[in-house]
Amino acid sequence: WCEKATRMSVRTNADNPEQTRNAVAFGAQGIGLCRTEHMFFEGDRIHAMRQMILADSAEARRHALARLLPMQRDDFAGIFRAMGGYPVTIRLLDPPLHEFLPRTAEEIHNFCEVSGLNEQAVTRLVERHHESNPMLGHRGVRLGISHPEITEMQARAIFEAAALVQKEGTEVRPEVMVPLVADVEELVRQKQLISRVATEVMAETGVSIPHLIGTMIE
C-alpha cells in the first residue's frame, strides 16, 4: 500500500554486498551512504592500508594502493550487483588515518613482521599521525587533495566495477561523495580528478556510466 502511495524512496547505509542484499530485501531503493573505510579493516587489507598511510613517497603509496584497488573494485561490483540498478552513493575515504594504524607494541610488532618495516620507525610514524582533534585533521577531502593518488584509486575502483557490472547486464548508478568539504575549491579539484578517471575508464572499457559527483558539506 505504501509503495503505491509514496512519492519518495528510502535508501540505506550499506558497506558490503551482504548488507546491500538485506537492505533490498527490506525494500530499500538505493544506498544513501556507502562508507569505503569500512572495507579496509578486513583480513590482509589492513596491512596494505597501513603501508599506504606510512609510505614516505608517492611511489610507495601507489604501490600499496595498487594492492587495494582490486579489493575495492570487487566490493563495489558486489554492491552494484546486489542493488540491481538502484543508485549507490559512495563516500570517499573519510576517517582520521590514525584509526587504521596499529596501537599497541604487539600490533606494531606484528605489522612490522608482515611489512618488513623497522619497529622504531613505525612507532615514531604512528605517534606522528595521532590527532587530538580529528575533525580538523588530515582526512576526508584534505587527504584527497594532499594525496590525489588515493582519490584516483577509489574512483578507478568505482568506475571499473560499474563498467564490469554493466557489461553483465545490470544497470549501475554510482554517485561519488567527496567528504568534509569546507571550500568550493576543494570540491572543484576533486571533481576534476574523479571526472578524469571516469572518462579514462569509460574509454578503456567502452562502457558509458551515468554518474553523479557531489559532496558532504561541513
pLDDT given at position 218: 66
Q: Residue 8's Cα: distance from chain center in Å?
A: 27
Cell 605489522 found at = 111
Q: pTM for the complete prediction?
A: 0.88
Q: Residue 164's Cα: distance from chain center in Å?
A: 18
The CA distance from 40 to 27, in Å, is 28
pLDDT given at position 159: 98
DSSP 214: E
The CA distance from 12 to 46, in Å, is 25
The CA distance from 175 to 212, in Å, is 5
The CA distance from 88 to 74, in Å, is 15
Cell 559512495 found at = 90
**In a structure prediction context, what are the per-residue pLDDT tens digits for the chain, which is 218 residues long?**
887 898 988 999 999 999 999 999 999 999 999 998 878 777 678 878 888 888 878 888 888 899 899 999 999 999 999 999 999 999 999 877 777 778 788 888 887 887 777 788 888 878 877 777 877 888 899 989 988 999 999 999 999 999 999 999 999 999 999 999 999 999 999 999 999 999 999 999 999 999 999 998 76
Q: Which residues of 123-134 are buried (b: 16+ CB within 10 A; e: fewer)?
A: eebbeebeeeee
pLDDT given at position 43: 65
One DSSP character per residue, 82-142 reads: HHTTSEEEEEPP-S-GGGGS--SHHHHHHHHHHH---HHHHHHHHHHH--SSGGGSS-HHH
- In contact, 49 and 36? CB cutoff 8 Å: no
Extract the C-alpha cell encoding 27: 525494500
Q: Is 74 exposed, middle or buried (0-12, 13-18, 19+ CB in 10 A)?
A: middle
The CA distance from 159 to 211, in Å, is 9
